[in-house]
Amino acid sequence: MKYFQKTFFSFSILFLTGMVVTSCAALPKDPASGYTPSLKNPAQVFNVGKTVFDIVIKDANQAATPGLALEVSPEMTMTGGMSHTTPVESVVDNGDGSYTVTAYFIMASGGGSWALHFHVNGTHLADHIAITVGGLSADRGQLKGTTADFIKPDAMSASTNRLYYVFKSSINTAGGAGNPSIDLFLATREDTMTHPAVFQGQVLHSDTSNLATAWTVGTVTLSVCTGIWTYGTGTNSSCTSWANLFDQGNGHFTGTGLTIVDTSKTPGISAAQFAVHLKIVNATAGTNEWKTSGGVAGLGTGDNMPELISINQ
Ligand SMILES: [Cu+2]
């Protein structure tokens, strides 16, 4: 939470003062800071979805240094030149000069290139670490707001549908009481550089008229298909019953003892999937809408495409 807020503030201040921040490379660098970041595990694998990795920060004397205020920003430069970040949940100081980062990648390398950027005690380090992100888009869910839920992605772009990303934090499809059988992480795009967690009470910003307006998230209904799944074509896929997950207040939504249905086209043959749907109350506007795959309103029941999305298990 702390890092979401810091990231949001730093970029929104630049945004509001009229600077066009399309890439971290445009920010001032400080070659004199003396800090050098590196991956603790040189063979670290990054994939679409949740990726946990350790960063080591060494000072000018090559000593691994704990106690720093470290911000880590994975940034993708798209082939077309547009840049964006991805949700980062936390950076934990391990006390030995290493820091554990929990990030959720929205996109694989291929349409562009990813690099990790670092701020130490507020200073943007000159060193970036190029990384390759593997996996598939179907390894996370993506749903969109309708015209009532627009954002302005960057200073140059027109307003467009807000994106919501649903990531697996952990999943145990066998169900059973006790431990959470599913833990999802929900985040959204405020602009291309800002991806906060979504939960009841979170404040987001709309842009329906080029005028950013704060709104407060009310009840978030994020559910997993536990009923009969019918795989159809086009908008005919459907689920008969759902388990609403518990909003933990930090982007995590959990459920226990659920029997999570395999929503793949051919269960047992194609990669197993699970379906989610998402309805969010805008407590400021007093509206309540199902988010959809295309940003166009569906039937309003949440039971059919496009008001649901399947995610690889
Ligand atoms: Cu991208």
CA of 96 to the centre of ligand 1 (A): 33
CA of 47 to the centre of ligand 1 (A): 13
CA of 59 to the centre of ligand 1 (A): 32
Q: Is the pLDDT of residue 162 over 90?
A: yes
Average pLDDT over residues 132-145: 97
Predicted local confidence at residue 310, as pLDDT: 95
Q: Is the pLDDT of residue 82 over 80?
A: yes
Contacts of 216 (CB under 8 A, 6+ apart): 201, 202, 203, 204, 282, 283, 284
192 vs 13, higher pLDDT? 192
Q: Is the pLDDT of residue 23 over 50?
A: no
CA of 80 to the centre of ligand 1 (A): 10
Predicted local confidence at residue 34, as pLDDT: 87
CA of 109 to the centre of ligand 1 (A): 8
CA of 78 to the centre of ligand 1 (A): 5
Give the Cα separation of 141 and 274 in Å (integer). Answer: 10
Q: Is the pLDDT of residue 3 over 60?
A: no
Two structure tokens written together for 110: 């291929």
pLDDT digits (tens, 9 = 90+) for 103-137: 999 999 999 999 999 999 999 999 999 999 999 99
CA of 70 to the centre of ligand 1 (A): 24
Q: How confident is the model at residue 141 (pLDDT cuts 50, 70, 90)?
A: very high
Predicted local confidence at residue 149, as pLDDT: 94
Give the Cα separation of 192 and 197 in Å (integer). Answer: 14
Q: Are 162 and 153 in contact (CB under 8 A)?
A: no
**Rg of the chain on CA atoms, in Å:** 20
The sheet with strand 141-144 has its strands ordered as 141-144, 163-171, 180-188, 252-256, 246-247
Residue type, 276: V
Q: Is the pLDDT of residue 13 over 80?
A: no
Main-chain phi, psi angles of 191, to 5 degrees: -155, 180
CA of 84 to the centre of ligand 1 (A): 6
CA of 188 to the centre of ligand 1 (A): 14
CA of 195 to the centre of ligand 1 (A): 13
CATH fold of the domain at 2-134: Immunoglobulin-like (2.60.40)
74 vs 2, higher pLDDT? 74
Neighbours of 264 (CB within 10 A): 19
CA of 111 to the centre of ligand 1 (A): 6
Predicted local confidence at residue 177, as pLDDT: 62
Q: Please list the residues that pair with 296 across neighbouring strands.
A: none
Predicted local confidence at residue 246, as pLDDT: 97
CA of 138 to the centre of ligand 1 (A): 14
CA of 83 to the centre of ligand 1 (A): 7
CA of 184 to the centre of ligand 1 (A): 22
Torsion angle, CA of 165/169/175/178, rounded to 10 degrees?
A: -130
Q: Average model confidence (pLDDT) for the chain?
A: 88
| Spacing of C-alpha 48 from chain mean position | 10
Contacts of 303 (CB under 8 A, 6+ apart): 238, 239, 240, 242, 277
Q: Is the pLDDT of residue 168 over 70?
A: yes
CA of 108 to the centre of ligand 1 (A): 7
